[in-house]
Amino acid sequence: MNESLVEVENLRKSYGKTEALKGISFKVNKGEIFTLIGPNGAGKTTTLEIIEGLRKKDGGKIRVFGEDVEKGISRIKPKIGVQLQHGALYEYLTVKEVLILFASFYKKRASIEAILKKMALKEIAHKWTKALSGGQLQRLRIATTLVNDPELLFLDEPTTGLDPQSRRYIWKMIEDLREEGKTILLTTHYMEEAEKLANRIAIIDRGEILSIGTPADLITKYGGKAGMYIRVIEKKEEKEYRINLKNSGAEAPQILQEFAKKGIEVKYVEIKTPNMEDVFINLTGKELRE
Ligand code: ATP
């Protein structure tokens, strides 16, 4: 049996007339990266901040490390690391000073030098935070979650607004944190990010979870068929074929062999297998845009 570090059951939350969460349920297992993915306004931040003890729920049950959040927050806090979407970092403190300040809130502290190294902040440890690039700031935000050496990390859209290269750099660091044994609950609205990082994904839209599973399971269930586009020379004429494949596209090589057997020269092949983007469109009926 998987040990669950976070258990959310039928969680409800409204802001006035806006029903932000309509009774969502999920579990985060020890050692995994669990990703909540959904468009702006889906309810991701609300979910995270209720679990972190920062907002109040209207209904449902939440347990973190087996404890009720509202009753046990003082025992839970030392064991979690929280990165807020717009967490303030003091402009005229250096990177290292920010980490020292955050560490001072905790009894148990990780080595600041080790965190600087892990998050590639060593070279800029003495820069003011106001002088950092977007990618460096996000790395510092994640670094602040590590100061108490927590078992469980909450990362709210850790790469939003970054260029693809900085994003990939942070993905590698998040993967390394899982490697170290940390459990991570992460929100994102980038499908590629969820597909790359997540052991399991929950797709959330308008306050409801539409499906939960591993990326591969979700793609098999909801991704739809793969497609193959082939351009050939047949009887000295160029022709195009579009062929529907099964989900995995595994029969593609066999199809190419059939062409070869008939002496048809294949000039170009493109295979499009379904991805998380297709899963999202098929489940919600819309594209996930920034
Ligand atoms: P984003 O990616 O934009 O942060 P999200 O998925 O995190 O989106 P939430 O921020 O949780 O979504 O918002 C869910 C819904 O609740 C939205 O309709 C939002 O407008 C509303 N909402 C969130 N916070 C508040 C608040 N403090 N007061 C009123 N309404 C709020």
Q: How far is the CA of 55 from the centre of ligand 1 (A)?
A: 12
Among 22-26, 92-96, 257-261, the least confident range: 257-261
Q: What one-character DSSP code corresponds to residue 130?
A: G
Pocket test for ligand 1, best of 18, 19, 185 (most atoms within 8 A of CB): 18
Among 109-118, 128-137, 224-233, the least confident range: 224-233
Pocket test for ligand 1, best of 8, 14, 21, 44 (most atoms within 8 A of CB): 44
Tokens of 166: 């900085």
Q: Is 43's C-beta closer than 6 angstroms to any atom of ligand 1?
A: yes
Locate all alpha helices (DSSP H) within 11-59, ordered by sequence. Answer: 44-51
Q: Is 161's C-beta closer than 6 angstroms to any atom of ligand 1?
A: no
**pLDDT tens digits for 35-73?**
999 988 999 999 999 999 999 999 999 999 999 999 999
What CA dihedral angle connects 44, 47, 50 and 51, to 10 degrees? -110
Q: Is 188's C-beta closer than 6 angstroms to any atom of ligand 1?
A: no
Locate all alpha helices (DSSP H) within 55-118, ordered by sequence. Answer: 69-76, 95-103, 112-118
Tokens 């939440």 label which residue? 62
Q: How far is the CA of 41 from the centre of ligand 1 (A)?
A: 5
Q: Is 46's C-beta closer than 6 angstroms to any atom of ligand 1?
A: yes
CA distance 30 to 184: 9
Q: Is 20's C-beta closer than 6 angstroms to any atom of ligand 1?
A: yes
User: What's the rounded mean pLDDT across residues 243-257?
Assistant: 84
Query: Is the Cβ–Cβ distance between 280 and 211 less than 8 Å?
Result: no
Pocket test for ligand 1, best of 21, 35, 37, 45 (most atoms within 8 A of CB): 45
Determine which residue's CA is closest to atom 29 belonging to ligand 1. Answer: 15
User: What's the rounded mean pLDDT across residues 109-132?
Assistant: 96
Determine which residue's CA is closest to atom 25 belonging to ligand 1. Answer: 15
Domains of the chain: 4-221 (3.40.50.300), 225-273 (3.10.20)
CA distance 92 to 283: 46
Tokens of 179: 């490697």
pLDDT of residue 198 exceeding 70: yes
Within 13 Å, how many C-alpha atoms sit on residue 156's CB side? 18
Determine which residue's CA is closest to atom 24 belonging to ligand 1. Answer: 46
Pocket test for ligand 1, best of 17, 46, 186 (most atoms within 8 A of CB): 46
| H helix or E strand, kind and range, residue 274 | none
Query: Is the Cβ–Cβ distance between 201 and 33 less than 8 Å?
Result: no
CB atoms within 10 A of CB 53: 18
β-partners of residue 83 are: 155
User: What's the rounded mean pLDDT across residues 128-137?
Assistant: 94
Determine which residue's CA is closest to atom 18 belonging to ligand 1. Answer: 41
For residue 89, report the phi and psi dihedrals to the nearest 5 degrees. Answer: -125, 135
pLDDT of residue 247: 66
What proportion of the chain, given as a percentage, has pLDDT over 90? 74
pLDDT of residue 32 exceeding 50: yes
pLDDT of residue 288 exceeding 70: no
CA distance 208 to 215: 19
pLDDT of residue 290: 46
pLDDT of residue 249: 74
User: What's the rounded mean pLDDT across residues 134-162?
Assistant: 95
Q: How far is the CA of 284 from the centre of ligand 1 (A)?
A: 19
User: What's the rounded mean pLDDT across residues 170-178?
Assistant: 96
Q: Is 38's C-beta closer than 6 angstroms to any atom of ligand 1?
A: yes
**pLDDT tens digits for 232-248?**
988 888 999 988 887 67
Among 108-117, 182-191, 247-256, the least confident range: 247-256
**Mean pLDDT of all residues in the chain?**
92
User: What's the rounded mean pLDDT across residues 143-159?
Assistant: 96
Instruction: Give the type of residue at 200.
Output: R
**Nearest CA to 169 among 139, 194, 132, 130?**
139
pLDDT of residue 221 exceeding 60: yes
Q: Is 53's C-beta closer than 6 angstroms to any atom of ligand 1?
A: no
User: What's the rounded mean pLDDT across residues 1-17?
Assistant: 94
- Strand boundaries in the chain, DSSP class E: 4-15, 18-29, 33-37, 59-64, 67-68, 80-83, 152-156, 183-188, 200-205, 208-213, 226-234, 237-245, 265-272
For residue 208, report the phi and psi dihedrals to the nearest 5 degrees. Answer: -130, 145
